[in-house]
Structure 1
Amino acid sequence: MANSILSVGAEFPSFKKTSVVSLEKGNEFYEISSNDHRAAGKWMVMFWWPKDFTFVCPTEIAEFNKHVEDFSDRDTLLIGASTDSEFVHLAWRKDHDDLRGLQFPMLADTSKSLAEELGILETNEKIAYRATYIVDPQGIIRWVSVNDLSVGRNVGEVIRVLDALQTDELCPCNWQKGEATLAV
């Protein structure tokens, strides 16, 4: 039986993991931790995919990369993650046209410890579900979305929810940045 998914209001687990940040020889890897976004006073969006070298995953990763400036403009650290190793991440980035120019880290949770703490490991293969977490600068989970393995997520919706959370106001259904929030 799977663990319960860590959800809204919980503290995001502490982690220190190797990530792929570059294709430049000698600068491929960087250790990233849960303190990076907190120390910088930034929000964090961490999105997970099941496996490298698959079909739905690169469409999502490329779409997040197209919006990397949108996350940066919102003082948000964007991190992609899976349970594959940093070496598999690097090989995939080198092999896939849409992944060579990624501008955010690909976190390697090879021990599966972070995915397990989050409760997002698929029971049979022990790979991560397509989970997305929005975490505030204090390390508290403010939004979680988990998709079945076969369905890609909507990056625009992640940005919309991030915008709404950052208003710290009541936002109605389908609210978009720039629209009025609800008065109490």
Structure 2
Amino acid sequence: MLTVGDKFPSFDLTAVKGGAEGLGGPGKSFTQITDTSDAGKWKIVFFWPKDFTFICPTEIAAFGKLAGEFADRDTVVYGVSTDSEFVHLNWRVYNEDLKDLPIPMLADIKRELSSALGILDKSAGVALRATFVVDPEGTIQHVGINGLNVGRNPQETLRILDALQTDELCPCNWTKGEDALKPQELFEKAA
């Protein structure tokens, strides 16, 4: 599995557009997203196992609700599963929590990106609940992986992004606006 310090792999995937554009129907709802899309921005790339399931829409909707917070931090959010763009579109149309989803849903139907990242569940053959925070240079700065039956916390992903963007030492449970650690001050207190 790729981890912190590794380059995020190249990819070229069809996606259902975020927002109202995503509900325009086949031919209008789709776009191509690649590793070079949104160049120079931070990226949150999160994976879910399957469309039309139970835990997945709760996570996807939660990331969608934070899309503005991520955008305020010059960060784009991509959601990915191994389902096709047609399945994604159908799910958006029929799931009330996803109709207004402001983020794109990428289709990794050949499992190329999931395989390159090393996040396919060995028995189910679908993506684990993986979250990657990727810096503007394309380097992975954070990875979180959950099993198939446990949802993740998108608010924690936002907290981690905030900490990474400070480029400082951030202690346990640090939140935006709090002081980062100053090693020199800690050494002086200990002396």
Q: Same fold (TM over 0.5)?
A: yes
Partner of 1:36: 37
1:47-89 alpha-carbon deviations (Å, 9 max, x no partner): 0000000000000011111111001001001000000000000
Which protein is bigger by CA-based radius of gyration?
2
User: Which moves more between the two structures, 19-28 or 89-98?
Assistant: 19-28
C-alpha separation in 2, matches of 1:169 and 1:124: 40
Counterpart AA for 1:146: I
**1:35 and 1:183 mapped to 2: Cα distance?**
36
Matched, 1:135 2:134: yes
CA distance in structure 2 between the partners assigned to 1:61 and 1:170 by the alignment: 30
Code of the aligned partner of 1:179: E
- Aligned residue in 2 for 1:71: 70
Q: Helix, strand or coil: the match of 1:32? A: strand
Q: Find the counterpart in structure 1 of residue 101 from structure 2.
A: 102
TM-score by length of 1: 0.95
Aligned residue for 2:189?
none
Aligned to 1:167: 166
**Whole-Å separation in 2 of the counterparts to 1:134 and 1:181:** 20
Query: 1:14 aligns to what?
Result: 10
Query: What are the superposed Cα offsets for residues 7-55 of structure 1, whole Å, 9 maximum, x if unpaired?
Result: 0000000001000011013420000000113x2x110000000000000
Q: Which amino acid aligns with 2:157?
A: V
Letter in 2 for 1:177: K
Q: Hey, what's the Cα distance between the residues in 1 that align with 2:28 and 2:44? A: 23
**In 2, Cα distance between equivalents of 1:86 and 1:109:** 9
Who is 2:88 aligned against?
89
- The 1-side partners of 2:37 and 2:73 are apart by 16
The equivalent residue for 1:24 is 24
Aligned length in residues: 178
- TM-superposed CA distance for 1:143, in Å, is 0.1
Runs of 4+ in 1 over 6 A off after TM superposition: none
Structure-2 separation of matches of 1:105 and 1:92:
13
RMSD, matched Cα: 0.7
List runs of 5+ in structure 2 lacking aligned partners: 184-191
Q: Could you tell me how far apart the structure 1 residues matched to 2:178 and 2:123 are?
A: 44
| Residue 52 of structure 2 is aligned to residue 56 of structure 1 | no
Match for residue 182 of structure 1?
Answer: 181
SS across alignment from 1:36: coil
Q: Determine what percentage of the aligned residue pairs are the same residue.
A: 56
Counterpart position of 2:186:
none
